[in-house]
Amino acid sequence: MKISYHGHSVVKIQTAGKTILIDPFITGNSLTDLKVEDQSPDVILLTHGHNDHVGDTVQIAKANNALVVAPNELADYLSWQGVRVHNMGVGGAYNFDFGTVKLTQAFHGSCYVKENNDMIYTGMPSGILFKAEGKTVYHAGDTALFGDMKLIGEMNEIDIAFLPIGDNFTMGIEDAAVATTFLHPKNVVPIHYNTFPVIKQDPHKFKELVKDADVHIMLPGQSLEI
């Protein structure tokens, strides 16, 4: 399984001949190396409905007939835009031909803001547990630290975790380090930082605090194999 990071919370997974994009915020993302027109995923996974996570989902999904897997209300909203969707709820899992997706809790908000400033409620935010090829990937989405991360760590052998460290809107560095002790991942990648001034952070400080996992500070476009 090949996994690459593309700035903010954008993660790409290539497994069993399939390409999966998580939270494809490309347009307006100053840190990403991706171009919308170059993306051809089979699947898009979304953690929640904020614009910096839904991003370019509709355009990319329509261009590739990609399946979008998202929390229930967000999936409904995207289906109204002509996107092929699979609705899920927090705590639920589903076995797809490309792997198993389970939505976990995340403590955050979730709404989509349209150009006229209408706010569309998009349901509960989530994290994502993705399993394929005997590997487990945890993308926490946007979240605060919460105690049930211990359960996620106890119930799953996590090969790699993507955790926000930006603070202000999500966990900061110290809380993300505690989350790592709860989750017990083999590898951890800090995400959701430096995109905007208010979430400016030094990921090396996070690396210094984490003692029981391999921390990978990934630049946009870098990848690793698990």
Average the pLDDT over 173-200 and give the result. Answer: 98
In a domain? residue 192: yes
CA neighbor of 140 nearest in space, from 104, 186, 95:
104
- Specify the pLDDT at position 219: 97
In a domain, 223, yes or no: no
| 182 occurs within a structural domain | yes
Asked if residue 219 belongs to a domain, the reply is: no
Nearest Cα neighbor of 137 from 53, 17, 7, 20 is: 20
The pLDDT value recorded for residue 155 is 98
User: For residue 2, which phi and psi values (nearest 5 degrees)?
Assistant: -105, 130
Find the helix packing angle between 57-64 and 72-79, rounded to 10°.
60
pLDDT of residue 181: 98
Q: What angle do CA 197, 198, 204 make, to 5 degrees?
A: 80
Q: What is the pLDDT of residue 67?
A: 98
Report the domain count for the chain.
1
Q: At CA 81, angle to CA 90 and CA 221, rounded to 5?
A: 70
Mean pLDDT of all residues in the chain?
97
CATH of the domain at 10: 3.60.15.10
| Structural domain boundaries, residue 169 | 2-213
The answer, yes or no, to whether residue 115 has pLDDT greater than 90, is no
Provide the pLDDT confidence category of residue 11 given band limits of 50, 70 and 90: very high
In this structure, is residue 17 part of a structural domain?
yes
Q: What average pLDDT does range 114-134 have in this prediction? A: 95
pLDDT digits (tens, 9 = 90+) for 188-206: 999 999 999 999 999 999 9
Task: Give a yes or no: residue 186 inside a domain.
Answer: yes
Query: pLDDT, tens digit, for every residue of 12-69?
Result: 999 999 999 999 999 999 999 999 999 999 999 999 999 999 999 999 999 999 999 9
pLDDT at 91 over 90: yes
53-67 confidence digits (pLDDT tens): 999 999 999 999 999
Q: What percent of the chain has pLDDT over 70?
A: 100
If pLDDT is split at 50, 70 and 90, which confidence band does 95 have?
A: very high
pLDDT at 116: 87
- The answer to whether position 220 is within a domain reads no
- Characterise 174 by phi-psi region: left (phi > 0), alpha (psi -120 to 50), beta (else): alpha
